[in-house]
Amino acid sequence: MKKFFISTAIDYPSEKPHLGHCLEKVQADVLARYKRLRGFNVHFSMGLDEHGRKIQRYAQKAGKEPQEFVDEMSSYFKNLWKILNISNDDFIRTTEKRHIKVVREITKKIYEKGDIYKGKYKGLYCVDCESYYLPKDLEAGLCPIHHKPAETLKEETYFFKMSKYQKQILKHIQENKNFIIPESKKNEILNRLKEPLQDLSISRKTVEWGIPLPLDKKFTTFVWAEALLNYITTLGYPSEKFKKFWPGQIHIGKDIIWHHSVIFPCLLFSAGLKLPKIIFVHGFITVAGQKMSKSLGNVIDPFELVKKYGTDAVRYFLLREIPPTEDGDFTYEKFEARYNSDLASGLGNLVARVLTLATKLKIKNEKFKITNQNLKSIIDETWKNYKKALDEFKFNEVLISIWELISVCDRYIEKERPWEKSEKQQLTINNLLFTIDNIAQLLKPFLPETSEKVLEQFKTKKIKILFPRLK
């Protein structure tokens, strides 16, 4: 059986999850479900990055020990993925013993290769993203991502010889077309690699909340130097399972592309391991054109969104409305308009109309067949485009093509008028049932709950409204 490994970035649980956390999880879930349906043995991993100065500070603010704090926060993330129907096979936390063991093994391996040395670091550091910055990278002295002042950090540290691997990583990116998707993000990294690559500080003397550095217990391991290794921990490195599944693909946000496409590969080069096949980079979700932020009061709570509209409605909006590799915008007006037009009036209405007619005529499941060749050719073309688009991560294009098939059915109903008694009445309804069955199959990776409901209604002939229209 073919193997397929996919992982999202692991989240930083300093605060409860917001809608922005959901995008890559839903995207990755679609691919994991799609591959399973194609017969692949899938390992789909997600998790939490639980160490670092920021967690230490947030725990202190909450009056809790760091472990107690991350234990509490992890429950919010796990519950969210459950209500969003995410089918992950593993949920890794970097505070787990299995991860600490892997970090020790890899650090020791890199050290024994001569790629770690002791020195002194002085520079600018953003606590929120746990990253170093050169003065030229800041925007008016502020972190370009969090828009907060960078702190001056001066301390004794251990460095990883990342500069040693500059030519190697540059060559790999240039020669492997799909290593970084999309092309625009790949070019960003290639432009940045025109500058000399700096060695990476991989330890902290002033951060207590972290994995002790194996070669010097007075230090803890820099959060990015250990968190990135979660992708091999989840596969049980260096087990047989790891050898079978690695390398795979990783889905991340555009704010952590450097860490995943340069720092992580350099660590893997040093450790003698293969690089990920694909690093897929998505954009951010804005709210009415603005970045989500607590200060603006526009953070969207995904728990409330699912509670009000349902799991598949949220999944649908994220996959249909947010471009896979660009920023996309959320407003309640857009959400409700898409819900009413596509889910309530589109899919929901079609299923209810056709099943009502089929129930009246007592048409049985075994009679599903297609006699209309035009309809059949459109279904075949939809499947063909579906596979190609999913292999290219074009989630929104797949959904557009499925909803075009729904529109084809609506036009077919208006043309054939199957509510009127005629010789071809039963054939018309059979054609529609066959098409809706295909629509339900197409939707399995995207809207698994809805797909199941449609197929169940086919069996029971008990018609239930899939998406009640919003007033």
Which tokens belong to 358?
């089929």
What pLDDT score was predicted for residue 365? 57
Per-residue pLDDT of the chain in tens (471 residues, 90 and over written 9) = 899 999 999 999 999 999 999 999 999 999 999 999 999 999 999 999 999 999 999 999 999 999 999 999 999 999 999 999 999 999 999 999 999 999 999 999 999 999 999 998 877 777 676 676 777 777 777 777 767 787 777 889 999 999 999 999 999 999 999 999 999 999 999 999 999 999 999 999 888 999 999 999 999 999 999 999 999 999 999 999 999 999 999 999 999 999 999 999 999 999 999 999 999 999 999 999 998 887 788 999 999 999 999 999 999 999 999 999 999 999 999 999 999 999 999 999 999 999 999 998 887 655 567 889 999 999 999 999 999 999 999 999 999 999 999 999 999 999 999 999 988 899 999 999 999 999 999 999 999 999 999 999 988 878 999 999 998
What pLDDT score was predicted for residue 122? 78
Residue written as token pair 């970035």: 9
What pLDDT score was predicted for residue 335? 98
Q: Return the active site residues.
A: 18, 21, 126, 129, 143, 146, 291, 294
What pLDDT score was predicted for residue 147? 76
Give whole-number Cα distances, 313 to 67, 309, 326, 338, 351, in Å.
Answer: 35, 6, 21, 9, 16
CA 74/CA 17 separation, integer angstroms:
10
What pLDDT score was predicted for residue 129? 63
What pLDDT score was predicted for residue 304? 98
Q: Is 205 helix (H, G, I), strand (E, B) or coil?
A: coil
What pLDDT score was predicted for residue 366? 55
pTM score:
0.94
What pLDDT score was predicted for residue 153? 74
What pLDDT score was predicted for residue 367? 57
Burial of 37-68, coded b for 16+ CB within 10 Å and e otherwise, reads eeeeebbbbbbbbbbbbbbbebbeeeeeebee
- Cβ(431)–Cβ(358) under 8 Å? no
CB neighbours (10 Å) of residue 415?
A: 9
DSSP 410: H
CA 347/CA 454 separation, integer angstroms:
10
Domains annotated for the chain, with CATH where assigned, are 331-460 (1.10.730.10)
What pLDDT score was predicted for residue 361? 84
Which tokens belong to 387?
């596979």
Pick from 318, 356, 345: nearest CA to 468? 345
- Cβ(108)–Cβ(51) under 8 Å? no
CA angle 165, 101, 110 (to 5 degrees): 20
pLDDT (tens digit, 9 = 90+) per residue, 271-288?
A: 999 999 999 999 999 999
Cis, peptide link before residue 445, omega less than 30° from 0 = no
